[in-house]
Structure formats: C-alpha cells, structure tokens
Amino acid sequence: MTVSRPARRIQGIGALAVALLVLAGCTPGADPQETPAAGETSPASGGTGTTDEEAGGDAAPGQTVGEESGTDAGAGAGTAGSFDRTATLVVRPEGFTSASAFPSRAGWTTLGSTGRCTVSSTATSVPDEDQVAAERGISLVALADLMAREQRASDPSSVSEVLVADGSPGEPRGTNAAVQEWTVERAGTVVRSRVLVRSVWTRLYTGEGLRESTYVAFECTGTAVDEAAWATALAQVRLPSAGGETAGTWRFE
C-alpha cells in the first residue's frame, strides 16, 4: 500500500510526540548532597546542624572501649571536622582491659587500661581562619589550650616530642606529636596525666579554616607515669593525621 507524503509526515510528528512524552516522564537522579561544614549535621542523618560547645569535667567511672560520656570533648570547642580524628589502638596490648581505671575527661573515648593506668583519646576542630604557624606550632597551641582548661593542674613537665609510629617496616615512620604531662586530681584521685597532641590545618569547601587536633592521654594514679605501660600502649596507638614522618621531622617544615 502506498502512503501519501502528508500521511507519512503526520506519522513522523506522532512518533516525535510519543518520544517527548517518554522523556518527560523520566525522573532525574537525586542531587548529590554537599558535605556539611564542621559542626554541621546532614539533614538526611536526622541531625540538628548545631555545633558542639566547650565542656570539661570527668566521665563516669568504668567507661569501656569506644564508649563516650555523651558530653563534648574538654580539649576545645568544635567537632571533629570532615571525619573522626580520634586515635585508635591497633591491638589492645596484653594485660589491657576495656574498663577505665578511673574517670577520664568528659567526652574522651577510653581505649584501654592496665593496672593503675588508662589511655584515652579525643579529637577537636577549632575555627582558625589564618594558619599562622606550621603543624608543630599549632600542635603546641592545642596542647597549651588543654592544659589551661585543666582544673588545679600542677607540676607540669617541659614540652617534648614523640613519634607515634605507623607500624611500617624499616626506618620508624609515623606522626610526630607534642607531649607534656602534669598532675591533676580527678574525682578525689591524684592522677599523673601525659598528653600527646597532633594538629593539622585544613580548609573546608565553604572557605572556613580549621585547626583539627587529635589528643591521646596516658594517665596513671599517683604522681608518676608507668613508663613500661606507656611504651606498650604507645606502640599500638595510631593517629589518623599526617603520617610518613621521621622522628623530629614534621611535614611542611
């Protein structure tokens, strides 16, 4: 059968209309969600979008590994930024248990304890629009900030440095950190607190600058740290920032 040109033209227009209707019925994929800035919570997660406030004090006795007191870190204001910078123990050393030997700082995560000593960690992000010092310098600032918030701290040591190794073979490499210790009284117990901190500076996509810090505290009842237990715990501690450094050589310096 021969179809006239006008009929063929009408058929072509009809096919085009059907194609347009099909395309119009297609639904585009969900828009990618922007990464929330530090201190914000994605609405999809059900968060409130509020930032943490400064807090201090002691956590409840008997905190277990991975358990937090439900309050904010006493180390400073802010949240952990783009990801959690809390330190971890690769392997809980022999003789270490999950329970805390005594109340740790509010908001700190207890990593383990042995005898009279406990190791705990926290992470903070503090607005810092202008990076005025290298990472060694801002780590010293973060350490001083924590000590300034300690109540009735006494007998502070001088500040030193330690390399938190990453466990790689060969020449020891890892993350350098600033270290200082002092004596405090916590829940009626005298405690010697040795704290290491490593800070990095980062800028969010919003343009906000942040000083992000990881703290690790090794604390023992009494006025002296158990050095053997400290060395055992330190060998298993891993910091999430920096890495690949040799002892005393900080990146960007």
Under the banding of pLDDT at 50, 70 and 90, the label for residue 218 is: very high
CA distances from 38 to 28, 112, 142, 225 (A): 30, 28, 18, 35
Kindly state the helix (H) or strand (E) to which residue 172 belongs, with its residue range.
none
Q: Is the pLDDT of residue 251 over 90?
A: no
Residue 87: pLDDT over 90: no
Q: Which of 172, 173, 141 is nearest to 159 (CA)?
A: 141
Our CA dihedral for 240, 71, 148, 208, rounded to 10 degrees, sits at 60
- Average pLDDT (188-205) is 92
| Full DSSP string of 186-203 | ETTEEEEEEEEEEEEEEE
When pLDDT is cut at 50, 70 and 90, the band that residue 234 belongs to is very high
Q: pLDDT tens digits for 42-75?
A: 333 333 333 333 333 444 333 333 333 333 334 4
Residues forming beta bridges with residue 196, ordered by sequence position? 179, 216
Which residue's entry shows tokens 């119009």?
A: 24
As a whole number of angstroms, the distance between CA 183 and CA 166 comes to 29
> Per the structure block, which two tokens stand in for 149?
């918030």
Residue 152 or 241, more confident: 152
pLDDT at position 85 is: 73
Cβ proximity of 156 and 147 under 8 Å: yes
Helix (H) or strand (E) holding 79: none
pLDDT of residue 86: 81
Where is average pLDDT lowest: 58-62, 182-186, 200-204?
58-62
Q: What is the arithmetic mean of pLDDT over 116-141?
A: 88
Confidence bin at 201 (pLDDT 50/70/90): confident
Is the separation of the CB atoms in 78 and 87 below 8 Å?
Answer: no
Report the distance separating Cα 85 and Cα 165, nearest Å: 16
Taking every pair of Cα atoms in the chain, the longest distance, rounded to a whole number of angstroms, is 106
Q: What is the pLDDT of residue 64?
A: 32
DSSP class per residue in 7-65 = HHHHHHHHHHHHHHHHHHT--PPPPPPPPPPTT---GGGT---PPP----SBPPTT--T
CA angle (238 as vertex; 163, 158 as ends), nearest 5: 40
Compute the average pLDDT of residues 121-130. 86
Supply the pLDDT for residue 204. 83
Burial category of 67 from C-beta neighbours within 10 Å (exposed 0-12, middle 13-18, buried 19 and up):
middle
Residue 140 has pLDDT above 90, yes or no: yes
**Residues paired with 61 in a beta bridge:** none
Q: Whole-model pTM?
A: 0.67
Per-residue confidence band for 83, with pLDDT thresholds at 50, 70 and 90: low
